[in-house]
Amino acid sequence: MKYATYTASGQRYYGAVTDAGMIALNDEFPQWPSLLDVVQSNGFDALENAAKGKGVTHSDFEYEMVLPNAPRILCVGVNFPDRNAEYKDGSEQPKYMSLFPRFASGFTGHNRPLIRPPENDTLDYEGEVAIVIGKSGRRISQADAYDHIAAVTLCNEGTIRDWVRHAKFNVTQGKNWDKSGSIGPWLVPFADAKQLDDARIITRVNGEVRQDDVLSRMMHPIRREIEYISTFMTLHAGDIIVTGTPTGSGARLDPPQYLKPGDVVEIEVNGIGTLRNMVEDEVI
C-alpha cells in the first residue's frame, strides 16, 4: 500500500492511495496529525489495517510534498561514476560522498508545477530515489542500515544551476528555491532490499529519456550513505536522504538544456512509481 499527503477542498489530509482516489486516514488517528507522525511512530501497519474495507473519500485532490514537515533533508551529490566524469576535472571516484542540505519549502508535490524564478532561467532536473528514516540511530553499520529505513519515495532535486556557483564552498543557494523540486508522489513502506538494490531510475523530459541508470552502480551505496551520515549526526525518524542522481542532467548536455515553462518532467523507478511535474514561471 502507498501513502500520500494531499489537499482537498482547501484542507490537508494524509491517506492511502488507490486507483480510484484517496482514502483519508487522519480522523482514524488523531494522535498522528501528519504522515511524519506516522513515520515517527512506526504506524504503517496501523494505516494499512484501517484502510482495509474503507471506501475512497476523495477523488478530487492535489498531491502535496509527501512529508511537508520533514525535519531534515540531506542530499548526496555526484554519486554515479558517469556523473563524476561529467565534471571533466580528471578526478577519480571520491573516497567520501558530497552532502548538502535542502529544506522542505524547496519542494512541491506530484502533478504540481516546478517554479522557475525570474532571477535566473537555469532550472534543472535531477531524478533520484529518496529514503525516509524510520528508526533513529548513530554510527549505524552498513549491515544494519536497511533496518533504519521506514519508506522510499522519489525526488526531482530541481536546481538553479547558476546559483550553485555563487560561492566557492557550497551549493545551498541553488538548491533551495521555493518549489524548485518535488518529492513524492507517495511513500512506499520499505519491506525488501530489492526495492533499492534492483531499482532503476529513468528521467524523461517531454517524453525524452534524459537519465537512465540503476542504483547498484552508485559510488556510495545507500547502506554506506546511512553509515557515513550517522557517523557525524544522529539520524532521526522522519529524516530524508536523497540518494544521488545519474548522468544526464540538463546542465551537462551540449548545449545545456534547462527547463522552461510547459516542460513536463517524469521520474520513474520500478517498484515505487512515477513522479511527474510540469514547469511554470513564478508569478510575482
Domain ranges of the chain: 2-63, 73-281
pTM: 0.95
Q: Considering only residues 78 and 141, tell me which one the structure prediction assigns the higher pLDDT.
A: 141
When the pLDDT of each residue in the chain is averaged and rounded to a whole number, the result is 95
Give domain 73-281's CATH architecture. Alpha-Beta Complex (3.90)
**Would you state the pLDDT for residue 92?**
67
pLDDT at 93 > cutoff 80? no
- Give the integer Cα–Cα distance in Å for 112 and 98: 29
Q: Considering only residues 83 and 43, tell me which one the structure prediction assigns the higher pLDDT.
A: 43
Q: Cell 551540449 belongs to which residue? A: 254
**Lowest-confidence pick of 15-24, 166-175, 242-251:** 166-175
**Would you state the pLDDT for residue 225?**
98
- Give the integer Cα–Cα distance in Å for 255 and 229: 35
Portion of the chain with pLDDT greater than 90, in percent: 89
Could you write out the DSSP letters of every residue in the chain?
-EEEEEEETTEEEEEEEETTEEEE-GGG-TT--SHHHHHHTT-HHHHHHHHTTPPP-BSS-EE--SSTT-S-EEEEES-SHHHHHHT-S-----SS-EEEEE-GGGEE-TTSPEEEPTT---EE--EEEEEEE-S-BSS--GGGGGGGEEEEEEEE--EEGGGGGSSSS--TGGG--TTSEEEEEEEEE---THHHHT-EEEEEETTEEEEEEEGGG-SS-HHHHHHHHHHHS-B-TT-EEE----S--GGGSSS-----TT-EEEEEETTTEEEEEEEEEPP-
**Would you state the pLDDT for residue 8?**
98
Residue 15, all three cell numbers: 491517506
pLDDT at 11 > cutoff 60? yes
Structure confidence by residue, pLDDT tens digits, 201-214:
999 999 999 999 99
pLDDT at 167 > cutoff 90? no
**Would you state the pLDDT for residue 90?**
61
Residue whose C-alpha is closest to residue 146's, from 100, 102, 194: 194
Q: Looking at residues 267-283, what average pLDDT do you find?
A: 97
**Would you state the pLDDT for residue 89?**
56
Could you write out the DSSP letters of every residue in 8-59?
ETTEEEEEEEETTEEEE-GGG-TT--SHHHHHHTT-HHHHHHHHTTPPP-BS
**Would you state the pLDDT for residue 86?**
57
**Model confidence band, residue 165 (pLDDT cutoffs 50, 70, 90):** confident
C-beta of residue 134 within 8 angstroms of C-beta of residue 190: yes
C-beta of residue 183 within 8 angstroms of C-beta of residue 243: no
**Model confidence band, residue 83 (pLDDT cutoffs 50, 70, 90):** low
Q: Looking at residues 269-275, what average pLDDT do you find?
A: 97
**Model confidence band, residue 277 (pLDDT cutoffs 50, 70, 90):** very high
